[in-house]
Structure formats: structure tokens, C-alpha cells
Structure 1
Amino acid sequence: MGFPGTWMTESESVVYRVVPKCACSTIGQIMYYSDHGEFFDGDIHDAATGLHKWARDESQALINDNVKSHASYAFTCVRNPYTRILSSFFDKICGIQRNGKRYRGKLVPLLTQKYGIEVGGDDGKQEFDQIESFRRFLLFARDTIRWRRPMEPDIHWSSMSGHVSTFIVNGGRYDKIFWTEAFNDGMGQVLDAITTPHTVDLDTIPRFNESEGHGPKRAHPVEDYFDDLSMHLVYEIYHRDFDLFKYDFENPANKMPVGEIDLDEVHAKLGE
């Protein structure tokens, strides 16, 4: 299976396991800058040069050898499951993507027909009941993850622990897992631990939020979207994410972690 979703700088200064909706655009641009002294002109996910990616055939042998020998510092980044699934809904379901079309073509019509989800009209800008539609989307997300119906789960709402685990199961080991909510602190620790061709000043790095502006603005506080049933569904889908990455399941309003991530625990439980 190898190391899907893994990126590595060309200098092999650092290895990163991408977790969708967890600051991956900013992290990718920082890695690119650390090698080249400039940012990639465009969405870093589109970069076909300047950064090794498992999706590039010519990068796979290099990534495989590096990760299996733990030749470079390896890390990933996680995010509160409540805000992550909300972000996925507004970006991927309600939003128009950068190609000017809906995400995955027929997905939104399917959700409208089978789950009664509204998305703000053809352009995603019309008024609609965000809370009701989001809760219906949660049912759909649960169905894809638990029963793989009416489709396979999408990388943007499949569990973070699922993404993180493939790296471990196939022979990798993380040196650091940090939280999106404490980005500068976590990314700073990564940069302090490695040597890069170009120095990165985190205080001046822009945030590359490529999903921003795709969809409607969230109209309510995070906690308003989650009633008791929604919280139950979220825990059913993401219980390992809450447990391993120390987020607060009991209070959707608290996006901050409530404990420290135990790397040994993560490797033990996700390496099974």
C-alpha cells in the first residue's frame, strides 16, 4: 500500500502525512518555501514539481525509502472533529470548487434527492437552513463511513485517525503530531527540529486557506449545529479522533484540546 497522502521536501528535510481539512495547504506551502525560498504559485495540491508527493510516481521510491528508514523528521497535523466536519460541509458540499463546478459532480444532487440537503442554490449564496442541512449531511457522512453507502467515504470527512494510521501500519513513525488550533506552536517545533535550505519565519507566513470563499459563511456558532443526536453521530464516526488527539467531545463549543497527545499511544493503537 505504501504511504498515500505523504509529502516530502525535495531536500528530504522533513516528511508530512497530509490530513485533509487540517491546515494542509499552509503546511505544504511552508515545506515548498523551506526548499525554494518562494511559495508555489497556486494551490499547493496542484504542484507537480518542487515537492515530493506519493501521488507522483517518481516520488514513491524516495518517500518509501525515507519513511521506512526514518531518515527524516516526520509529522502530521490534526483538528477538532466538530470544526473539521463543519468545514467539510461548507467547503465541499455547499461550495463551488476552484474549477467552477460542484465537488464530485453528481454528489450534491444525490444529497438533495436522498437526504433532503440544501446547499444555498446553484451558486451556494442563497439563504437556507444551515443547521438542518448540516445535520442531514452528518447522517450521510455516517452512512458512507459505517456502511460505505451510498458511496465510499470521502477523504475530507473520513476520520483523521484513519489517515494517520496508514503511515504507521506501513512502517512509518511520527516524531510530532500537533493541533491546527495551536498551529504556530506546533509548526514551530517541527521547524526547530529540522534543517532547511531556506529559513521560515512563521510570523510572516500567510495562511493558505484554499477552501475559503468556496461556500456560504457559517451563520451560527459551532455548538448550534450539534444537538444530542448530532453529537452521538459525531462520536460514532470520530471517537478515536477525540480519544487519541485529546479533543473535548462533551462540549462542541470548545475547539481546543484538553490534554497532550501521547505519541506512543497513537502508534500503539493505530499500528494494530
Structure 2
Amino acid sequence: MGFPGTWMTESESVIYRVVPKCACSTIGQILYYSDHGRFYDGDIHDADEGLHKWAQEASQPVISRAVTERSAPAFTCVRNPYTRILSSFFDKICGVQRNGKRYRGNLVPMIMQKYGVETGGPDGQAEFDQIRSFRRFLLFARDTIRWKKPMEPDIHWSAVSGHVGTFIANGGRYDHIFWTERFAEGMQTVLDTIETPHPVDLAAIPRFNESAAHGPERAHPVEDYFDDLSMHLVYEIYHRDFELFKYDFENPANKMPVGEIDLDEVHAKLGD
């Protein structure tokens, strides 16, 4: 199976397992900058030069060798399940993508019809009941993950532990896992352990939130979107994320971690 979702600098200074909706655009640009002294002009996910990516066939043997020989440190970044699934809803379901179309073609019309989800009109900017529609979307997300119906789960709302785990199960090992919510601290720890062709001043790096303008603004605090049933569904889908990455299931208003990530525990539980 190899190492899907894995990127590496061309200088082979560091390996990164991409997790969607977890600061991946900013991290990718930092890695690109560390090799080239400039940012990629566009969405880093579209870059087909300047970074090794598993999706590029020529990069696969280079990444495989670096991972299996552990010749470069490997890291990833995780995020609170409550804010991540909310972000996925506003970006991918309500938002118009950068190509001017809805995400995945008929996906949005299908969940509007089958689940009664509203999305804010053709451009995602009209008034609608965000809380009601999000809770209906959450049912859809649960159905895709639990039963793979009416479609396979999408990478943007499948569990973080699933993304993180494929790297481990196929023979990789992480040196660092940090939280999106403490991004500067975590990313600096990674940068402090590697040598790069170009130094990175993290304080001067902009945040590349490629999904920021896609959808409507969130109109309510995070906790307002999650009633008792919604919390139950979130736990059903993401219980491993809460457990392994030390997030607070009991309080959706608290996006910050409540403990330290135990790398040995992560490897033991996701290495099956």
C-alpha cells in the first residue's frame, strides 16, 4: 500500500503525513519554502514540482526509502474533531470550491435531497439554519464512515486517526505529532530538529488557509452546533481521535487538548 498522503522535501530533510483540515496548506508551504526560499504560487496541493508527494509516481521510491530507513524525521498535525467536522461542513458542503464548482460534483445535491441539508444557496452566502443543516450533515458523515453509504467516507471528514494510522501500519514511525491548536509551538519543534537549505522564520510565515473564502461564515459558537445526539455521533465517529490526541469530548467549547500525546500509545494502537 505504501505511504499515501505523505509528502517530503526534495532535500529529504523531513517527512510529513498530510491530514486534511489540519493546517496542511500552511505546512506544505513551509516545507516548500524551506527548500526553495519562496512559497509555491498557488494552492500547495496543486504543486507537481518542488515537493516529493506520494501521489507522484516518481516520488514513491524516494519516500519509501526515507520512511523505511528513517533517514529523515516524520511528523503530522492533528485537530479537535468538533472544529474539524464543522470546518469540513462549511468548506466542502456549503462552499464553492476554487474551480467555481461544488465539491465532488453531485455530492452536495445528493445530501440536500437525501438528508435535507441546506447550503446557503448557489454561492453559499444566503441565510439558512446552519445548526439544523450541520446536524443533518453529521448524520450523513456518520453513515459514510459506519456503513460506507450512500458513498465512501471523504478524506475531509474521515477520522484523523485513520489518516495518521496508515503511515504507521505500513512501516512508518512518527517523531512528532502536534496540534493545530498549538501550531506555532509544534511546528517550531519540528523545525528545530531539522536542517533546511533555507531557514524558516515561523513568526513571519503567513497562514495559508486555502478554504477560508469557500463557504459562509460560521454564525454561532462551536458548542451551539452540538446537542446531546450530535455529541454522541461525533464520539461514535471520532472516539479514537479524542482518546489518542487528548481532546475534550465532554466540552465542544474547549478546542484545546487536555493532555499530552503519547507517541508510543499512538504507534501501538494505530499500528495494527
Fold equivalence (TM over 0.5): yes
- Secondary structure of 1:52 counterpart: strand
**Which residue of structure 1 aligns with residue 143 of structure 2?**
143
Could you say which residue in structure 2 is the equivalent of 1:154? 154
Query: Residue 97 of structure 1 corresponds to which residue in structure 2?
Result: 97
Q: For structure 1, list consecutive stretches of 5 or more residues without a partner in the other structure.
A: none
Matches within 5 A, 1:119-134: 119-134=119-134
Q: Give the distance between the partners of 2:187 and 2:125, measured in 1 at CA.
A: 34
Q: State the match for 2:187 in structure 1.
A: 187
User: How many angstroms apart in 1 are the aligned matches of 2:166 and 2:68?
Assistant: 13
Q: 1:81-136: per-residue Cα shift (whole Å, max 9, x none)?
A: 00000000000000000000000000011011000000000110000000000000
Q: Calculate percent identity across the aligned residue pairs.
A: 81
1:178-257 paired onto structure 2 within 5 Å? 178-257=178-257
Secondary structure of the 1:167 match is helix
- Equivalent-residue separation in structure 1 for 2:57 and 2:89 (angstroms): 31
| Aligned equivalents of 2:20, 2:112: Cα separation in 1 | 24
Q: Which residue in the other structure is 1:71 paired with?
A: 71
TM-score (norm 1): 1.00
Letter in 2 for 1:37: G
Partner amino acid, structure 2, of 1:131: I
Question: 1:109 and 2:144 equivalent?
Answer: no
Measure the CA separation in 2 of the matches of 1:269 and 1:242. Answer: 13
Q: Which amino acid aligns with 1:23?
A: A
For the residue of structure 2 that corresponds to 1:7, the secondary structure is: strand
| 2:43 aligned with 1:52 | no
- Letter aligned with residue 255 of structure 1: K
What is the CA distance between 1:29 and its match in structure 2?
Answer: 0.1
Q: CA deviation at 1:144?
A: 0.1
1:65 counterpart letter in structure 2: R
SS at 1:118 equivalent: coil
Determine the C-alpha separation between the residues in 1 that align with 2:85 and 2:158.
9
- C-alpha distance in 2, partners of 1:59/1:166? 18
1:159-211, Cα deviation, whole Å (9 max, x unpaired): 00000000000000000000000000000000000000000000000000000
Aligned match of 2:261: 261
Q: Offset of 1:63 from its aligned partner?
A: 0.3
Task: Report what 2:21 is aligned to.
Answer: 21
Work out the CA distance in 1 between the residues paired with 2:199 and 2:38.
Answer: 11
Q: 1:154-173 residue pairs with structure 2 within 5 A? A: 154-173=154-173
Letter in 1 for 2:192: D
- Structure 2 residue aligned with 1:34: 34
Deviation of the 1:24 alpha carbon: 0.1
Partners of 2:12 and 2:186 lie apart in 1 by: 20
Question: In structure 1, what is the Cα distance between the partners aligned to 2:216 and 2:201?
Answer: 32
**Within 1, Cα distance between the matches of 2:147 and 2:114?**
16
Amino acid in structure 1 at the alignment position of 2:101: K
1:19 Cα deviation after fit: 0.3
Per-residue CA shift, 1:126-154, capped at 9, x if unaligned?
Answer: 00000000000000000000000000000
* Paired residue secondary structure (1:35): helix
C-alpha RMSD of matched pairs (Å): 0.3
Corresponding residue SS for 1:16: strand
The letter for the 2-side match of 1:159 is A
How far does residue 38 in structure 1 lie from its aligned partner after superposition?
0.2
Separation (CA, whole Å) in 2 of partners of 1:124 and 1:264 = 43
Q: Which runs of 5+ in 2 are unaligned?
A: none
User: Which amino acid in structure 1 is aligned with residue 256 of structure 2?
Assistant: M
Q: In 2, distance between residues paired with 1:241 and 1:69?
A: 28
- Match of 1:196, SS state, is coil
User: Aligned equivalents of 1:212 and 1:179: distance in 2?
Assistant: 19
